[in-house]
Chains A and B, each alone.
Chain A
């Protein structure tokens, strides 16, 4: 069945919530026909994209990401911004289904007419959803949202994928009992544009401040990504809405600095190129694994590798030789 993409394009550009939501569904769909339609839609929307502040937020479960977005997003809409939130929810169960509860932590923002929140099930495949997130982000931009926040959980590989599609990447932390640097991978800190210690409230303020110092010291040891930006370590309380304006100021500051020296434009350009090669790789892989011969050979080879009848290298070579045959 041919999907008529015109209503989607018009609807998204007119800021229609329903059609934006349905465009996202097409983008996220696993059906080739939907994906194709989605590609055409996003292609046509491209001229209207690129005008938002793109923020990525990661942190371990319970760090307070959703709560942060609730308070931070509400602050932004009250300043006149239109905020879209894309939440990648990893809570999938063994059945493949998931419970998407993010909006229960974003009670005010979710009913805010200037906010759009879309939680996406990861279906156990964080990479997969993250792949689509970029296109979803573009659709939101075309619909007129000028701040896009992508929430992703800091376990798995999704956070680096997210970092590679946003302007500003923020790691949310909580002051733990001593083992501050545990739980979050060093690679994530390397791509962070700021680290924020959340829950700096009540009897936790002092601990948050000492965590702040520790992270500052830790970050000093890392090579900054940009000569124009030294990632600061900030504190906030998402619950009490303190420190949030400072974070927004930091984001704008980052934006101004990187725009002035041309680095932001460069960053986005190289993100697009990376994105393209990412898609090519992904496409190649999907195509390869969809070949009948691969589908037939792979299980047998796996068994033989397991039984140590053949070396992994030899098995891989045999599998890849299928490509040679395809060429002819």
Chain B
């Protein structure tokens, strides 16, 4: 097939409709750098790597299974967890009764980072952004009444993966369930933690060993269990476009395969248990094509390892719709966004799916918002009839061509990563993180200029926002409950047995030996999560990230027409320098275990572009540490970014700490996911401004400057 015989006629017709302009002006360059044309024809199918293939057959573009949803629909797997194990357990049971199929556990940030609830560094984090788990006793409550031999359980755990997976196994043992009956998935994808998710504990080397240990233990003991979920979702949410997401995720996958091979495993013993996790955004066709492209590429990448089992190169994936695309403004719109994204995941051929709740940018889901989110999927499955046909978009000129474009672009980046020596080395070099952050800064600049439309945020804004639904708030008393239970457990266990089990674990960390296996006796003896984590940390150390910051990307994305907005702020910064002897200086900081750093990076980088001097603190600060830094650097203002619900504890504590150092004249502002209902509380405590999700950079910079100008320029 060549050019359509009447293509020229079409061009003429199109041109006529556009007052003589060539249809080429309708081409759209996506953030991925792909040029999308207004029309695709059969010509575009020529020379593609894979057309007219079959589902269930290599290279799996059309799906990993032969019958796909026509045979069985994807698994509705909603990610949830909050407060205590007891409360989360109740929530799970209600959801399962209402049609949810699999479980997916969200842990709180203290648990993620290997701290017990009584640790001083996590005072603001307990139960806030997930469920608090301190020991196997909590684990047993979490799965109470949920038969672990039947229920497939997915657990998002990466840092504290040894105590959590061991806890799950022992909880099952105590339910009378055998190891080999366990089915589900542990995320266990540490590379992307260093890159975007930020719940690492140990340095890369021992962390990679932990992964191999888990793969090797499970390949023998838990053959139905997915030992890793290689995740691009978090990269997307941190700012990666679809090509970056595909490339870095698959490159991570290759790195894990190499690690497992190096530890002596045969490719076919573990590769079939590798699973993936992709994020699906608002570019509807792009992310359909992305899933198809990812499957093709994975098959291609795996062939270098010569697997015998076809399942070894078959990409199976979970998907989640984008939380980032959801807004605090006019939040019911989020139901529509999520529906579109869910459709995209489904048409792309996902194996399971999480759909976000409409209150995503406000707080954790409530019973109500969770119901709507779940029903979004149920309605697609049971009412829309889209499940009847496998890969219904297969053969579409556009989708097939876009699939190829993503394959080609992602392959280029994968090649780049390979040249750096693989993903672990690439992450060390900082390349992937910088790419993602640059992509995030540019996106922010396009939104702030109104070039990328977000309804309710930069177009069709509501005059009066009001929240007429319940918002979930996890009370600070959850910490007291957890601390009390920790005391109880420590009082009732056999200290000698605990001591011995922990020493054995430390020795295994030091001298080799399977760490998951070594952790089981400790869990059985009621050692706590923090103790188990510490037993390994004493050998491995705790990883500290290298923060790099991009600069210039935000400002350079501004078109000449819109430049005056940023020029006006630059002028004010120059004026401030002239009047007061230095530039406005702001410390941006993240306190507690909250690892959401997309916002703070965007703020740091864009504010510097606007003429501020911006100090950026390491992650995971205590309020006292942040205050010390603010004082030493002598900043005018501290901006605390809080997304994991620690704001009511941590920001007032920061103000107290500044006072203790005699620096109560340093202005404090806060930003992030802070429910509007909490603003007054923060103002009362002395916070001078709060900037919620969706605040345009020029707007917050203007307000911040005003605060400083008022104080220092008479």
Contact = CB atoms under 8 A, between A and B. Distances in A.
Interface of A: 16-18, 21-22, 24-25, 28-31, 34, 67, 91, 93-101, 103-105, 107-108, 110-111, 116-119, 121, 123
Contacts, number: 119
A270 B630 CA distance: 36
Given A17-B631, A104-B546, A105-B547, A99 B604 contact: yes
Contacts of B607: 97
A97 B582 CA distance: 10
B144 interface: no
Contact of B634 (A21, A93, A108): A21
A111 B627 CA distance: 10
A97 B547 contact: no
B629 A103 contact: yes
A97 B661 contact: no
Given A21-B632, A31-B581, A97 B573 contact: yes
Given A105-B547, A111-B625, A95 B581 contact: no
**Chain B contact patch, size range:** 35 or more
A116 to B, nearest CB: 6
Contacts of A103: 615-618, 629, 633
Q: Is the interface of A mostly helix, strand, loop or mixed?
A: mixed
B611 A17 contact: no
B521 to A, nearest CB: 32
Given A103-B617, A119-B633, A121-B613, A96 B604 contact: no
Contacts of A123: 583
Given A94-B552, A95-B610, A96-B573, A34 B631 contact: no
B58 to A, nearest CB: 37
Nearest to A20: B632
A101 B661 contact: no
Interface in B648-664: 661-663
Given A17-B632, A95-B555, A95-B608, A100 B614 contact: yes
Contacts of B611: 95-97
A100 B573 contact: no
Contact of B610 (A34, A67, A97): A97
B577 A30 contact: yes
A104 B608 contact: no
A93 B552 contact: yes
Given A18-B631, A118-B633, A119-B633, A99 B581 contact: no
Interface of B: 544-549, 551-552, 555, 570, 573-574, 577-578, 580-583, 585, 604-605, 607-619, 625, 628-629, 631-634, 661-663
A97 B549 CA distance: 13
Pick the most buried of B546, B619, B632: most chain A CB atoms within 10 A of its CB: B632
A99 B547 CA distance: 11
A127 B341 CA distance: 53
21 contacts: A16-B662, A18-B661, A21-B631, A28-B581, A28-B582, A93-B551, A94-B552, A94-B555, A95-B555, A95-B573, A95-B608, A96-B577, A97-B607, A97-B608, A97-B609, A97-B613, A99-B608, A104-B545, A110-B629, A118-B633, A119-B615
A17 B613 CA distance: 21
Contacts of A29: 580-582
A34 B616 contact: no
Nearest to B662: A18
A116 B628 CA distance: 9
A30 B581 contact: yes
B583 A121 contact: yes
Given A98-B614, A99-B608, A117 B632 contact: yes
Contacts of B613: 97-98, 100, 121
Contacts of B608: 93, 95, 97-99
Pick the most buried of B547, B581, B616: most chain A CB atoms within 10 A of its CB: B581
Nearest to A118: B632
B634 A25 contact: yes
Nearest to B551: A93
B612 A97 contact: yes
A163 B635 CA distance: 28
A104 B610 contact: no
B632 A95 contact: no
A17 B616 contact: no
Pick the most buried of A28, A31, A118: most chain B CB atoms within 10 A of its CB: A31
B153 to A, nearest CB: 35
B537 to A, nearest CB: 15
A118 B615 CA distance: 10
A95 B549 contact: no
A94 B558 CA distance: 14
A36 B571 CA distance: 27
Contacts of A104: 545-547, 616-619
Contacts of B663: 18
Contacts of B605: 99
A256 to B, nearest CB: 32
